[in-house]
Amino acid sequence: MEENLREESEPPQKRFRCTQKQWNDWNWQISNRIRTIKQFKEIFNIDPSTLKLEEVIKKYPFAITPYYASLIKKLDYTDPIFAQSVPNVFELEDSKYLVDDPLNESEEMAVPFLVHRYKDRALLLSTTTCSTLCRFCTRKRMVGKKECHISSKRLEKIKSYLLQHEEIKDVIVSGGDPFTQENSFIEEILETLRPIPHIDIIRFGTRVPVVLPQRITPKLVAMLKKYKPLWINTHFNHSSEITPESIEACRKIIDAGIPMGNQTVLLKGVNDNSETMKELCRNLIKIPVKPYYLYSADLVRGSEHFRTPVEQGINIMADLRGRLSGIAIPTFVIDAPGGKGKIPILPNYYIGKKDNLHYLKNFEGEEVIYPD
Ligand SMILES: *Cc1c(COP(=O)(O)O)cnc(C)c1O
Ligand code: SF4
């Protein structure tokens, strides 16, 4: 079954029966996502009944951009791209801790589609659309089911809430993926938020540079540029996602003066070991995207098979420290169940205090004493 969808001998355009021009067009990529069993069979040439896809997608839809599918090197769940995007029968096996909305976002909305958890920050859920549906998505309850974005009327309501809350300095535009929408919609959001005087920064959370890099067009970037200061956080989980196309997408954004960070999810079988994580973080700073958070997988239904012991995350963090540039090291966090916020988890470097002395441990495990 081993087969490289990106072999030199067969460019992906041939497999997807399209021209180079279509391939480079993000609208073509969105319209031609792999979303049905029939398409799956045609493109991957695997019998989907062996994977029991039909049962899984009744509950959780799937969508993969042709571009992201072309990164698959091996047609099974040991491939990091395949594992992240192809439905898995294990999604139907939940443990008792898993829920639909682990971060309690639906309950906590200040106004529809705005989560105001931290005093100074608010999270705007702008759309339910993603170009590629990640199988481990925290927002599986809403993403990909009915594809839409928030209306102008709703945006106005969000604006009045924000105007009344001067403590909010930072708005995170998330979804779904806001960059799956047309420039005009993204600009409408920016035109809504930018005039609010107390909002310092606007952030976008988007996986488009990873799963649909064609979307980062010169026009989009020229539009974004008018609304700085902006920050963009993207979502690379594995080095095999760092391609000439994704590097170019990040370069365009960064060249426009918009800094980029990365949020990775710790995923069993994809990146749950030090070597893979080290390679990812090292490659990210080269393109140059700052590793920001490493998330322990949320307790969301349909993702049990991706969950990794917390100790594994701590061990990876201990392995990174001292062996990788400080700027390449993300903060490992657990986004606490019930919407209690992000909790950083560190290997234990602080042993304790006795008299005036602090007992510490360095990256090599040596004890260090530091007086007050
Ligand atoms: C993650 C998150 C934020 C942003 O947190 P930072 O630590 O500032 O990146 C804001 N609001 C909500 C609801 C979040 O989940
Ligand atoms: S890009 Fe984010 S919101 Fe969209 S499916 Fe993936 S994890 Fe979920």
Catalytic residue among 15, 33, 135, 139: 139
369 CB-near residues (< 8 Å, 6+ apart): 357, 358, 359, 360
Of 130, 140, 141, 207, the active-site residue reads 130
What is the Å distance from ligand 1's center to 271 Cα? 23
Measured from the CB, is residue 137 less than 6 Å from ligand 2?
yes
Pocket mutation for ligand 2, best pick of 134, 138, 179, 303 (most atoms within 8 Å of C-beta)? 134
- pLDDT at residue 247 is higher than 70: yes
Does residue 8 have a pLDDT over 70? no
Length of the chain: 372
Q: What is the pLDDT of residue 363?
A: 92
Write down the pLDDT at residue 150. Answer: 94
Torsion of CA 357, 363, 367, 368, to 10 degrees: -40
Q: Residue 13's pLDDT is what?
A: 87
Which of 1-5, 242-246, 306-310 is predicted least confidently?
1-5
What is the percent of the chain where pLDDT is above 70? 98
Say whether pLDDT at 159 is over 80.
yes
| Candidate of 35, 86, 128, 133 to mutate for ligand 2, largest count of ligand atoms within 8 Å of Cβ | 133
Q: What is the pLDDT at residue 7?
A: 54
Q: Check if 134 is active-site.
A: yes
φ, ψ (nearest 5 deg) of residue 238: -155, 145
* pLDDT, tens only, 195-228: 999 999 999 999 999 999 999 999 999 999 999 9
* Burial zone of 158 (CB within 10 Å; 0-12 exposed, 13-18 middle, 19+ buried): buried
Cα of first residue to Cα of last residue in the chain, in angstroms, is 62
pLDDT > 90 in the chain, percent: 84
Query: pLDDT tens, 38-51?
Result: 999 999 988 888 88
Indicate if 227 belongs to the active site.
no
Ligand 2 contact, 133 CB (< 6 A): yes
Residue bearing the CA closest to ligand 1, atom 1: 342
pLDDT score recorded for residue 2? 44
User: Mean pLDDT across the stretch 21-33?
Assistant: 97
Nearest to 85 by CA among 137, 141, 146: 137
The DSSP 8-state label assigned to residue 9 in this structure reads T
pLDDT of residue 141: 85
Q: Which of 215, 265, 271 is nearest to 240 (CA)?
A: 271
Q: Which of 284, 234, 226, 217 is nearest to 257 (CA)?
A: 226
Q: Which of 123, 168, 340 for mutating ligand 1's site (highest number of atoms within 8 Å of CB)?
A: 123
Catalytic annotation, pick one of 118, 350, 359, 370: 118
Instruction: Please say if 130 is a catalytic residue.
Output: yes
Report all structural domains of the chain as residue ranges with CATH numbers, in order of start.
12-92 (no CATH), 106-343 (3.20.20.70)
Q: Is the dihedral of CA 72, 76, 79, 85 positive or negative?
A: positive
Q: Say how far apart CA 70 and CA 213 lie, in whole Å.
A: 13
What DSSP assignment string belongs to 57-105? HHHS---B-HHHHTT--BSSTTSHHHHHHS--GGGG---TT-BS-TT-T
Pick the ligand that lies closest to the CA of residue 340: 1
49 in Cβ contact with 235 (< 8 Å): no
pLDDT of residue 96: 87
Neighbouring residues of 328: CB distance < 8 A, sequence distance ≥ 6: 281, 282, 284, 285, 291, 320
Query: What local confidence, expressed as pLDDT, does residue 352 receive?
Result: 96
Is the shortest distance between the CB of 139 and ligand 2 below 6 Å? yes
207 is catalytic: no
pLDDT for residue 3 is more than 70: no
pLDDT digits (tens, 9 = 90+) for 105-116: 888 899 999 999
pTM above 0.75, yes or no: yes
pLDDT value of position 107: 86
Q: Read off the pLDDT of each residue in 241-248 and give the average, rounded to a whole number.
A: 98
Look up residue 44 and give its amino acid: F
User: With contact defined as beta carbons under 8 Å apart, do 29 and 212 qualify?
Assistant: yes
Residue 56: per-residue pLDDT: 93
Active site residue 342: yes
Model confidence band, residue 9 (pLDDT cutoffs 50, 70, 90) = low
Residue 1 confidence (pLDDT) above 50: no
Which residues are paired to 123 by β-bridges?
A: 115, 172
Q: What is the mean pLDDT of residues 332-352?
A: 94
118 is catalytic: yes
Q: What is the DSSP letter of 240?
A: G
